[in-house]
A and B are shown apart, each in its own frame.
Chain A
Amino acid sequence: MASVSVRIAGANGDGIESSGALLIEAAAKNGLHVFGYRGYQSIVGGGHVWYQVRIGDSDLHSHGRGIDILVALNQDAILHQKNSLNNNSIVIYDPSKVNVDALDTSKSRAVKLPMLDIAMEVSGNPIIRNVVAIGAVLKFIGMDIGEFDEIIKTRFGKKGDKVVDGNIQAAARGYNYEGVETACKLSGDGKHRYVLDGNVALSYGAYAAGCKFYAAYPMTPASGIMTWFASNESKGVFFKQAEDEISAINMTIGASVAGVRAMCGTSGGGFSLMVEALGLSGMLEAPIVVVNSQRTGPSTGFPTKTEQADLLFAMHASQGEFPRIVVAPSSVKESFRIGAEALNLAERYQVPVIILMDQYLSECVDSVEQFDLDKVSIDRGKIVKASNGTGKFKRYELTGDGISPRAFPGTKGLEHIAPSDEHNEYGELMSDMLAGLDESIEMRKKMHEKRMKKIDTMLKNETVFVPKVINEGAEYFFVTFGSTTGSAIEATEILKGKGRSFGVVSFEYIMPLDKERTLKLLEGKKLIDVEANYTRQLAQVIKQSTGIEIKDSILRYDGEAFTGDEIAERALLLTN
Chain B
Amino acid sequence: MANNINYTSGAKPVWCPGCGDYGVFAGLNSALTQLGIDKEKVLIVSGIGCSSAMPHVFSTYGIHSLHGRLIPVATGAKLANDDLTVIGVGGDGDGYGIGVGHLIHAARRNVDMTYIVIDNQIYGLTTGQASPTSLLGAKTKSTPLGSIETPENPVGVALAAGASYVARGFAGDPVHLAGLIKEGILHKGFAIIDVLSNCVTFNNLNTGDWYKQRVYKIEEGYDPTDMSKAVEKALEAERSNWSKIPIGLFYKKERPTYSEQDITLKKGPLVNQPDPTKQQVLEALDDLR
Contact = CB atoms under 8 A, between A and B. Distances in A.
Interface in A408-427: 408-421, 427
Given A213-B270, A254-B77, A236 B264 contact: yes
Given A207-B284, A254-B63, A421-B64, A259 B11 contact: no
Given A259-B80, A373-B278, A378-B275, 14 more contacts: A204-B285, A209-B275, A232-B284, A242-B72, A246-B69, A250-B69, A254-B79, A255-B77, A255-B270, A373-B282, A409-B81, A410-B83, A412-B40, A427-B62
Contacts, number: 198
A259 B264 contact: no
A254 B45 contact: yes
A254 B56 contact: no
Nearest to A195: B288
A209 B273 CA distance: 13
Interface residues of B, number: 58
Nearest to B271: A259
Interface string A243-262: 11011101111111111101
Nearest to B50: A432
Interface residues of A, number: 69
Nearest to B263: A233
A540 B81 CA distance: 43
Contacts of A556: none
28 contacts: A192-B289, A194-B285, A207-B276, A207-B284, A208-B281, A232-B284, A247-B69, A247-B105, A250-B72, A253-B76, A254-B79, A254-B80, A255-B77, A257-B73, A257-B77, A258-B81, A262-B80, A276-B66, A276-B69, A280-B69, A378-B275, A409-B84, A410-B61, A412-B40, A415-B39, A415-B59, A417-B63, A421-B64
Given A194-B289, A196-B288, A429-B53, A235 B79 contact: no
B274 interface: yes
B84 A258 contact: yes
Contacts of B267: 236
- Name A's interface SS: mixed
Interface string A280-305: 10001000000000000000000000
B289 to A, nearest CB: 5
B281 A244 contact: no
Interface string B31-74: 00000001111010100100001011001111111100101111
A411 B284 contact: no
B265 interface: yes
Contacts of B270: 212-213, 238, 255, 260
A244 B63 contact: no
A240 interface: yes
A259 B281 CA distance: 22
B271 A260 contact: yes
Contact of A409 (B12, B40, B101): B40
Contacts of A259: 80-81, 271
Contact of A247 (B61, B72, B78): B72
Contacts of A364: none
B39 to A, nearest CB: 6
Interface string A188-219: 00001111100010001001111011010000
Nearest to A192: B289
B228 interface: no
B4 interface: no
A28 B289 CA distance: 8
Contacts of B63: 254, 257, 284, 417-419
B77 A204 contact: no
B45 to A, nearest CB: 7
Contacts of B69: 246-247, 250, 276-277, 280
A341 to B, nearest CB: 15
